[in-house]
């Protein structure tokens, strides 16, 4: 589906600088997810393609895009200020391309956190909610909730899709964070899944089943805030 239906785009993120993007807009889409990648893999990683294809099959458009460092082939993530510019540019492009659709923004890990930081600093135009596919609350082995402080300044609905084995978000820390955000935050736990939504072979289910659960929860949440 992705290879056939994805439209390749270029998005300006600064003077003379552009990043790549991919837009999938299924017929009768109900919303568009502006979908940022994680720190270690770009927008064409298999996990990103799986999410985009799965959402497309469920009637949700997606606009995936590269952060500048990934576009340049660097392994060092952009400084937050640079990443925030890319987030805003992608949201603006999604609004232009999908005029009739409500926008949801967010992404995997680093991409989701950069999106929430941008939203906390100044509301992203047209964005009705934020969805995180594995919010990186802290580095592995260094539990802390400091990375969540800015979420108090996000005033739109937020969805946290998190694996119960996520080494970057200990539940004893994440659950109080989400609870403290009140009714605008929803936490959906994926039993046995890690930060990448992988499950162990002895879990009784496979990664595809976990992804289907996550995407069904995503779509149900979107329908609840945009309808």
DSSP codes joined into one string, 85-108: HHHHHHHHHHHHHSTTS-EEEEEE
pLDDT at 190 (0 to 100): 97
The pTM of this model reads 0.95
pLDDT at 86 (0 to 100): 98
pLDDT digits (tens, 9 = 90+) for 33-56: 999 999 999 999 999 999 999 999
pLDDT digits (tens, 9 = 90+) for 182-227: 999 999 999 999 999 999 988 889 999 999 999 999 999 999 998 7
Please choose, from the candidates 93, 75, 82, the residue with its C-alpha nearest in 3D space to the C-alpha of residue 35.
93
pLDDT at 193 (0 to 100): 96
Mean pLDDT of the chain: 95
Task: Give 2's pLDDT tier (boundaries 50, 70, 90).
Answer: very low
- Name the CATH architecture for the domain at 2-226: 3-Layer(aba) Sandwich (3.40)
pLDDT digits (tens, 9 = 90+) for 76-101: 999 999 999 999 999 999 999 999 89
pLDDT at 87 (0 to 100): 98
Percent of the chain with pLDDT over 90: 92
Evaluate whether 140 touches 107 at the Cβ level (below 8 Å): no
Query: Which residues, 6+ apart, have CB-to-CB distance to 147 below 8 Å?
Result: 113, 136, 137, 138
pLDDT at 203 (0 to 100): 87
């Amino acid at each position: 589906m992705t290879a056939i239906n994805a439209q390749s785009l270029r998005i300006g993120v600064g003077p003379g600088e552009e990043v790549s993007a991919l837009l999938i807009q299924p017929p009768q889409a109900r919303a568009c997810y502006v979908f940022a990648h994680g720190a270690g893999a770009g927008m064409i990683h298999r996990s990103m393609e799986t999410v985009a294809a799965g959402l497309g099959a469920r009637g949700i458009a997606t606009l995936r895009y590269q952060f500048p460092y990934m576009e340049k082939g660097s392994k060092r993530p952009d400084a937050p200020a640079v990443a925030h510019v890319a987030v805003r540019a992608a949201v603006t492009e999604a609004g232009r391309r999908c005029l009739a659709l409500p926008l949801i923004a967010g992404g995997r890990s680093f991409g989701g956190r950069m999106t929430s930081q941008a939203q906390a600093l100044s509301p992203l135009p047209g964005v009705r909610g934020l969805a995180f596919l594995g919010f990186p609350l802290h580095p592995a082995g260094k539990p802390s909730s400091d990375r969540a402080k800015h979420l108090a300044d996000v005033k739109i609905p937020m969805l946290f899709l998190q694996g119960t084995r996520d080494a970057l978000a200990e539940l004893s820390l994440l659950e109080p964070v989400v609870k403290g955000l009140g009714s605008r935050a929803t936490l959906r736990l994926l039993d046995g899944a890690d930060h990448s939504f992988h499950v162990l072979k002895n879990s009784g289910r496979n990664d595809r089943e976990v992804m289907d659960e996550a995407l069904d929860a995503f779509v149900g949440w979107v329908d609840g805030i945009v309808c």
